[in-house]
Structures are given as structure tokens and as C-alpha cells.
Structure 1
């Protein structure tokens, strides 16, 4: 069979593949970046769906809808973003079927085959899939504990002229790192100077467990007309809603809307209506506060166990929020070869190699701490220690 060339070189996500292998209840999985299902507000969301369908005009929520999205939902999301320090109006937003679709729409609008995209290395593997599918040429920029290196970024901008820079600057996937305020200002200045579009992917920003919030990259005055800011309900409400959004400069909104029309006409009408009702009638701040409390305890359990789990000479990140820590085993280690030993002990992780666009570091791996309780995490780390010791 002959398939489209755009699919060549786009590998299946190892995270999605792993999920099919670790569904057994006895497995403690640190592999998927999954929110804890027991923390979903099932009653609140059920009631929101019931109210919008039981209203006298409930049938309109089963009809086709505007491509840009539910006006009430856009206004509520814009208000929430403004309170968080990123002034936003409803017309700045396009509602998407998860923030992953927002990324796909941006790629459709901005990337032709062969066009250069710059990414922090390592980075979110589904973003790499998206750019590969668009036929873009991916170049990487080194990072450290403070996020992407501005000096290295300047060199890439000067020599490669990327059309777009993709970042997860707050509690990054996979590393958990946060780009410092000083570096955010530098990145914004560089993007403005070189005319580069910046995609700020921010699914984890509200999940902060310590320290003060850092203003969004899109809030930097220097790059206000260069940054597309992506958000999502997946981590603060429920991923099954598949609701996200992109806040874009005015110059890009028409083409993003056309790309959305061509993709799916519009995001689910009923899901948008229920989300708007939920936001209007629920104290989402209180719900997110509860998520933070639960996830903080789970993060603390994993970090506390790390010195007794990782082999001597290992290094790991100590994130202020989000869902992940990034572990680098001693030089010469191969996390992919260690994964079968971990699975034999009913514990799972994601090897780090797929998060690299160029030369992978086989000694790295990603661990997610949100899906299991602190007690389960402690047991899972014990099993992981046994797997490492058996190597």
C-alpha cells in the first residue's frame, strides 16, 4: 500500500503505545501524563451537561456552531486568563479540540515542507510528531535547569532563521523545568528582533505547588504580537472533554479560523456549552486548589524517594509544579533497555529518547507523579529501584 509521504518518519507515540501495555490494575505507571481520575469533578460536570440539555433551548447545543467557539466559553476563559496576568478578550481566542489541535492548526497555518521550527531539547513528543507531519525541519536549542538557553537560541535564530519557536516554558513536558522571568524577557526580545513566531504551550501553568507564579511569555511586551498562547481544560478539568484554545495575535486569527473550518468545522457544541456552564457555576479556583494539594503530596513522595531509587551518579529535576520529573541515569545507561525489567516488576516509565528531535540521550527517562497516590508512588519507586538494581 502507498501512503502519503507526510507520514513517513512520523513514529507512533511511545507513550500511547505504553498505555496499551500497562492497563493492568497491578501496574503502577509513571509513564502517561494523566490527571488523576478520582479528582475529576464528575458531579459538577454531569450537572453542567444536564442543565444545558434540560434548558428550554437545549437542542441548540446539539446543533452546528460557529468555528471560533462558544461566545460564553470564550468570555469566561478570557476572564480567567486576564486574572492570571495575561490580558485577553473573547475575540482573541479560538476554541479547539484540545490544545493538540491548536498546535496542528498553527502548523497548518505557518509551516510549509522544509520550513524550520526551533524547539527546546528535550521537548513534548507530540509536538515533534505534529511538526514532522507538516514536513518541517526541526532544529534544537539546548536548555538547562532554567529553561531554554537564550545565547544558544540567538545563534539558532541567526543561522537557521526558524519561522517558529515552540516552547513549554512552565513546568515543561518532559523535564518539569520552568523558564525564568529573565530568560522569558530575553526570548521575547529575540523573537521580536528576528520576526519569529513563538508558540507558548501552557497546559500545566495552574498546577503550581510552590513559589510564585511566573508571567506568561505572551505577556512580555516585546513579543506581544509574536506569541501564540495555548491552553487546555485537560489538566484542570478533564482531558476527555477535548477542549483547548489558542490566544493569537490578530494577524493570525483569520487563517487559523480557516484552518479550523477545514479540520472539523467547529469543536463539539455540547461540550463547549457544558464547559461554559461549568465555569459559570463552579468555583474552579477551589477545584484547582484541591488538585494542587493532592498533586503536591504526590510530587513530594516521588522526589523524597528518588535518592533511594536512582542509582548513584543520577540527576533529576525537582519541579515547582506540573506533572513530571526528568531523571538522568549514570553515563552509559540505557533506559529503554531497563523498561522491560521495570515492567516485569509491574512499574512503568517512559524512556527519554523519543523526546529528542536529534541525538537522544539514552540515559534519560520521564516519570509522571499525578496518577497515583503518595503511597502507591512510594511502592512504585521501590519497584523501580529493584529494576535499576537488576540492570
Structure 2
């Protein structure tokens, strides 16, 4: 029998759904996946070849320090600093994907029964992580501009939580971005109530419109910042990092040691080499150009394929569009119909920690070509109509 802690953690419906839609004829808007045809395969092959050649090759196959490859941390620190968050190499802990960073934060800061506040809706795997830590998860409302600071203040006053989890830039699942004024207010509330903020920022560089915003971590010392190479490099590398406030650094390092000693030495070395020689900024610009076209294709077709009364987000970046269908429909009941039409999406209910909104769904545009998006939107419209959804 599984432990009680694991028994209380629901399986991810996104991961479960991905296992069901591997048929090539299915057009999937389900997974938040980078486009594989845009991976810099040649650049990464050259980086691995370099670090597996010469005198350093054997060292790159050996055990390594828990904190991570110093050269890699230097590159990440410089890049993070350029994005408006002054960072030193010693501020960073390299993790096996940013998801592990979230798990380490939970292990270091949360005792069973601790209170964690999340915006509603929020990232599925964060809900899993906090559930497995035995935390009590309290949702706070959000709107088109992100988490509501007034509601957040009420929750902080009433609940006195240990932690607030946010994806403030191009949020998963909604695509929303927290504006500058709200970022300042959230940081101010965290300082006043002594709450740690976890700022999860896997999508921040994927901006297609408007000016970049400084991270929330630039506004307060009470922010633990999570970053990743998964969306701008390749998710198969499983390379992420935590920017740690000084007072939490040793606890997070111990948690990392207990989890896996250290992240893959060879992958870190290859990433450090890649960041030394590749023009990652140019690569990101290419990603943004491709994803902008895919976003625009999807947004342009939604009014044609969805019934009157449907509403959706208009993200400035990231990978997701959040849809609410009219008429009180349950999108979990629409999904089987959609699969029969060879198109997939993620029903919205699992993204809620509190009372779900079953008429919602998440669409991801990043891994699908504009031509396939056009066909997929046609199929989605047919599925919604077949399911009897009306204004």
C-alpha cells in the first residue's frame, strides 16, 4: 500500500492524457511542450562532444558538488542579472528541472499541516508537490491581471501561511501576467506578513508582445526564484535552478543532498559549454517568432470555432490559452468527444485547489505548427458542437 502522504496526491491528468494521445493523427493542444523541431540539436551535440573530449572528459562523468557546476551557475547568474534580477553564482542551486526545485523548497520549508497559498487556478504539479508535503492548500482568486492583491491580503491575514506560490509571468494554465503594480503589492504583503514567495518562472523569456517585467524577486528578499532551461533549451536535459535567499541556502542544499546528491554532472557541463559558445538570445528570439505565429493562429480561429459566449485569455507570451465555455458545460465530458474527433485539450477543473470551474479548459499552442493548429481548431469546433455546447 502507498503511504498516506502519496495516497492523497492525485495523478496528473495532463501526464495521463499524454499517454492516451500518442496516435499521430491526434492533434494535441494538451501538453505544454516546446516544439521539438526548434531544438538546437547541433548545438547541444557539439557541447556534449566538447565536454566528453580532452582531459576533462572523465571529470565530467564523476560525482560533483551538490550546489552545481560553478561555470554553469556563473552563466545562469549573468543571464538572470540581465533580466533585472541581480544574481551571483553562489545564490544558485542547480536542480534536476525546476520541478525538483519546488520539491526541495517544500521539503525545506513545509511541515505537515503547513499552509500554502496558491492563485486560482494554478500549475498542476505544484498542487501535487504541496499535497505530497502534507500541506494545507488555500486558494486565492485571480482575474485577467493575475492574483488579486486585496483577496491575497485577506487570506494572509486570516490564514497566516508559510508560503505563497505564483507563476506571475505567462502563468500555467491561464497565460496571464501579473502587472508591475500588483507585483509591488504582492511583495509588500509578503514582507508585512513574513510569507515566503515561490516565483516559478519557466516561461518569462517567451514574450511575444509588450515590455518585459522585472521578476517579483527583484522587489523583495522573501522570494525564492525558480528557473529552467526546459522551455528555452530542451526539457529532456532536466536542468533548472533555485535562486536562494541566504538564510535558506543551507537547508535547500541539504534537501538536495537527500534527494539525489547532485544533478547530472555531464548535463551540467554540456549546458555550461553550450551557454559559453551558443547565442541563446538569438535562439530565444527564434522561438518567440515561431510561437507568436502559433499563438496568433489559435487566437484568430477561436471566435470562428467556439460558440457565442465563450471567452478566452489573450496571453502576451508563454504557451497557453485559457478558455471558458458557455452554458455551464463540464469540459471533462467534452474531452471524450474531442478525442473521437482526433483533437485533445486539458479540462480545467484539475487546476483548481478549491471549487473548480468545470467549464474551463487549457489549450497549448507551442508544439503545433500553424497548419496543424488550423486543422485542430476545426476539429475542436466540431467536437464542441457535437457535445451539445451552446451559448
Structure 1 window deviating more from structure 2 (27-36 vs 51-60): it is 51-60
Question: How many Å separate the matches in 2 of 1:103 and 1:152?
Answer: 24
Question: How many Å separate the matches in 2 of 1:359 and 1:303?
Answer: 28
1:248-289, Cα deviation, whole Å (9 max, x unpaired):
100000000000000000000000000000000000000000
Question: How many Å separate the matches in 2 of 1:219 and 1:55?
Answer: 40
Displacement after TM superposition at 1:79 (Å): 0.2
| 1:242 counterpart (234, 238, 246) | 238
Q: How does 1:221-300 map to 2 (within 5 A)?
A: 223=220, 225-300=221-296
Displacement after TM superposition at 1:331 (Å): 3.4
Question: How many Å separate the matches in 2 of 1:310 and 1:234?
Answer: 32
SS of the residue corresponding to residue 140 of structure 1 reads strand
Residue 150 of structure 1 corresponds to which residue in structure 2? 149
Residue 324 of structure 2 corresponds to which residue in structure 1? 328
Residue 91 of structure 2 corresponds to which residue in structure 1? 92
Question: How many Å separate the matches in 2 of 1:201 and 1:356?
Answer: 17
Residue 34 of structure 2 corresponds to which residue in structure 1? 35
Counterpart check, 1:10 vs 2:3: no
| 1:351 counterpart (344, 347, 353) | 347
Displacement after TM superposition at 1:311 (Å): 1.4
Residue 137 of structure 1 corresponds to which residue in structure 2? 136
1:356-385, Cα deviation, whole Å (9 max, x unpaired):
011111000000000111111011000000
Q: List runs of 5+ in structure 1 lacking aligned partners.
A: none
Residue 102 of structure 2 corresponds to which residue in structure 1? 103
Displacement after TM superposition at 1:185 (Å): 0.2
SS of the residue corresponding to residue 172 of structure 1 reads coil
Residue 205 of structure 1 corresponds to which residue in structure 2? 204
Residue 308 of structure 1 corresponds to which residue in structure 2? 304
Residue 170 of structure 1 corresponds to which residue in structure 2? 169
Displacement after TM superposition at 1:309 (Å): 1.6
Question: How many Å separate the matches in 1 of 2:382 and 2:226?
Answer: 39
1:43-84, Cα deviation, whole Å (9 max, x unpaired):
000000000001222110000000000000000000000111
1:302-335, Cα deviation, whole Å (9 max, x unpaired):
0000101221101100000000000000131110
Question: How many Å separate the matches in 2 of 1:341 and 1:5?
Answer: 35
Question: How many Å separate the matches in 1 of 2:13 and 2:89?
Answer: 36
SS of the residue corresponding to residue 52 of structure 2 reads helix
Counterpart check, 1:58 vs 2:57: yes
Q: How does 1:212-223 map to 2 (within 5 A)?
A: 212-220=211-219, 223=220
Question: How many Å separate the matches in 2 of 1:3 and 1:283?
Answer: 46
| 2:369 counterpart (358, 364, 373) | 373
1:65-117, Cα deviation, whole Å (9 max, x unpaired):
00000000000000000111110000000000000000000000011111000
Residue 80 of structure 2 corresponds to which residue in structure 1? 81
SS of the residue corresponding to residue 58 of structure 2 reads helix
SS of the residue corresponding to residue 104 of structure 2 reads helix
Residue 189 of structure 1 corresponds to which residue in structure 2? 188
Question: How many Å separate the matches in 1 of 2:139 and 2:37?
Answer: 38
**Cα root mean square deviation, aligned:** 0.5
Question: How many Å separate the matches in 1 of 2:61 and 2:366?
Answer: 34
Question: How many Å separate the matches in 2 of 1:126 and 1:365?
Answer: 17
Residue 116 of structure 1 corresponds to which residue in structure 2? 115
Question: How many Å separate the matches in 1 of 2:307 and 2:73?
Answer: 48
Question: How many Å separate the matches in 1 of 2:106 and 2:305?
Answer: 40
1:21-50, Cα deviation, whole Å (9 max, x unpaired):
111111100000000000000000000000
Question: How many Å separate the matches in 2 of 1:105 and 1:378?
Answer: 41
Displacement after TM superposition at 1:137 (Å): 0.2
Question: How many Å separate the matches in 2 of 1:55 and 1:379?
Answer: 50
